[in-house]
Chain A
Amino acid sequence: MIFFKKMIYFLKPLFSVVLGLGLGLVITKIAGEDPWNVLQILLKSAFGSRYDIGMTLFYSIPLVFTGLSVALAFQAKLFNIGAEGQLAMGSIAAAAFGIYFPNIPFPVAPILASICAFLVGAVWGAIPGWLRARRGSHEVINTIMLNFIASGLTSWMTLYLFRNLDSQNPETKAVGAGYWMPHLKIFGESPVSFSIFIALFAAFCVWFFLWKTALGYEIRAVGQNESAARTVGIDSAKIRILVMAVAGGLSGLVATNEILAHAGRFRLGFSPGYGFMGIAVALLGRNKPGGVVLAALLFGALHKGTSDLDLETENVTRDLSQILQALIILCVSAEGLWSFLLESSFGFKKKKKSEIRTL
């Protein structure tokens, strides 16, 4: 029975993905496309060549960071929709650092820039954490408002402070040559870099932090039962601020992939919504670091796959990616449906929900 339950634990997300993808592809029928054809385009575009696989990985790396960010916050029952703003602030910080200190040599420069990105992202994440812990205002609304504020601030900094005057595009000047991360040559021309190891290391660190340290235990305790945590003397306000800060820092590390490996500068609007995709990644990955890495790969492939739809099909655009993600989340979130089905067919006990959210 335990084996059976475990199998279902792993099969459920998989089934959700298949169901969500299936529904999404059926929708393309409305646009007059052949769903089978669309699926083939998706697969070919995501895994067709070494370069394509490289691009898939390149899109997956930021999703690992934002997915970890959302998942970590989730462990403390905080909903971090602000990864988008945190990654923007972290990225512009890394770019600014690289512009102000262009002469730092190689191994030191990217490390310092990454730390800078982490710290600024952490500050941006700590703000809603503080607001929630000390002022009681809900992090969902605050993080979304901070996304808009971050987008305004980065736009101002890009256009007024660090503008690259040689280019028509809204982008900053380039960082020094020492900042570039080495690329992985196996994936051809694609910009997959050393950042992939940082992402995997971050996933390991989050796992270690949450499940092998006392602080991580406190975080999960606050997430699972706040009043019980308070009774044993855990300062839940402090935990919340800390969790949001680390979550923001993780999002900020997206800079290692974009600024230090791909563009070498901050380009306005470089993120195709990595922060929001991170929510889907975390949910599908069940808020566990290992699951997040796998889910990030899937969504990275989805993003790369749909990016060719604009050219290859007449009516379906890359927006399909958004639809597919939403459907997958809905299928994952319909946990009650699963237990309902299981209860009626196998007689499992239904879990009682006792969680209160005020929003």
Chain B
Amino acid sequence: MEVFMWIVQLMASTCRVSTPLLFAAMGGMMSERSGVVNIALEGLMLLGAFVAAAATDFTHSPVLGAFAAFMAGLIFSIFYAFFVIEIGSDQIVAGTAMNMLALGLTPFFSKILYGSSTSTPSLPIEFRFQYAPVWIAFGVVVLCWVWIVKTPFGLWVQFAGEHPEALDCAGVCVKRVRWMAVLVGGGLAGLGGASLSIFLSSSFSRNMTAGRGFMALAALIFGKWKPIPAALACLLFGFSDAIQIRLQSVVLWGNEPVPVQFIQILPYFVTILVLAGFVGQARAPQALGIPFVK
């Protein structure tokens, strides 16, 4: 019975810690299926986390906080989309710059608003989400699947990523499709950040995403850019994170607990192993990373 409870708890906590990854991976999928690499996921999440914490602190409503995070991700993506779609900047370089910008802007505004550049004030439990984001995250995965496989707009997005010239011939504006996909993707990544700061913890703290944006990207690649497999990959990373928390202070051999540092690196290690070992012949969208020039 005890083992059973332990497993149930582990599963529940896996779902909880996977939530930010699920949102971010779906956001990344939108943008990458349309042909735009999105390294900026990390920065979008960080910004979303900060905006959600600040907006919730201001309005006392987590729903408004999450909405603000969505909008923040969307607005931040406008800059990114402008640079990579309109100007044709290198997408990895511009994405890295966006990450740095988020890393600098969040403490900058935190300092202005709260006088501290390390964290925002802690939110009481009634201003935070309890379980809702988990369900919303799974809902978003299903929606993304329906959207990309079953709707005309999803088909446009796929064509924008696979063969933009064909889409152009069909009379659809490739750039507009990419714009839409990147903006919505940015909003979703913002929601992912929000679920970190107003769901999994009680405030925003400096660089709190700690590589989750990149893990979401890895999950996306592992899931071969498909919504359901990518979501499963997120759950795998979430599982390694959940087990990491439980393994701390557990004695595996000898009489000393395993050093906490070894356990903390587990999710990162799993990410590398998964990418190196199991991806196989993943085929990225054909036109991924190539600016469309008419």
Please report A residues at the B interface, Cβ cutoff 8 Å: 27, 30-32, 79, 81, 131, 135-138, 140-142, 144-149, 152-153, 155-156, 159-160, 276, 279-280, 283, 315-317, 319-327, 329-330, 333-337, 340, 352-353, 355-359
Contacts and interface: CB of A to CB of B under 8 A. Distances in A.
A153 B112 CA distance: 35
A238 B187 CA distance: 41
Given A353-B88, A357-B91, A320 B291 contact: no
B277 interface: yes
A323 B105 contact: yes
26 contacts: A131-B272, A137-B275, A140-B92, A145-B218, A146-B268, A147-B211, A152-B265, A152-B268, A153-B261, A156-B262, A279-B96, A280-B100, A317-B107, A319-B108, A319-B111, A319-B117, A322-B100, A325-B100, A326-B100, A330-B94, A333-B89, A335-B88, A340-B87, A356-B288, A358-B289, A359-B32
A358 B96 contact: no
B182 interface: no
Nearest to B89: A333
B259 interface: yes
A334 B89 contact: yes
Q: Which of A81, A321, A323 has the most CB of B within 10 A?
A: A323
Contacts of B218: 141, 145
A279 B271 CA distance: 23
A256 B221 CA distance: 38
7 tightest A-B CB contacts, nearest first: A322-B104, A323-B104, A326-B101, A336-B88, A326-B100, A137-B275, A156-B261
A356 B286 CA distance: 9
A359 B99 CA distance: 17
A329 B97 contact: yes
Contacts of A153: 261, 265
B293 A333 contact: no
A141 B100 CA distance: 16
B289 A336 contact: no
B272 A145 contact: yes
B130 to A, nearest CB: 29
A256 to B, nearest CB: 26
Contacts, number: 166
A333 B107 CA distance: 24
A148 B262 CA distance: 11
Indicate the size class of the contact surface on chain B.
35 or more
Given A315-B111, A353-B88, A358-B288, A155 B93 contact: no
Contacts of A142: 272, 275-276
Contacts of B87: 334-337, 340
B279 A276 contact: no
A34 B211 CA distance: 35
B60 to A, nearest CB: 25
B103 A322 contact: yes
B137 interface: no
Task: Give the secondary structure class of B's interface.
Answer: helix
Interface in B278-292: 279, 284, 288-291
A323 B97 contact: no
A320 B108 CA distance: 7
Contacts of B105: 323
B103 A317 contact: no
A149 B108 contact: no
B198 interface: no
B276 A148 contact: no
B201 interface: no
Interface string B51-93: 0000000000000000000000000000000010001111111
Contacts of B99: 326
A26 B100 CA distance: 18
Given A138-B221, A356-B290, A146 B100 contact: no
Given A27-B108, A148-B268, 7 more contacts: A152-B262, A279-B96, A326-B103, A330-B97, A335-B87, A340-B87, A359-B288
Contacts of B93: 283, 329, 333
B89 A355 contact: no
B97 A326 contact: yes
B96 A81 contact: yes
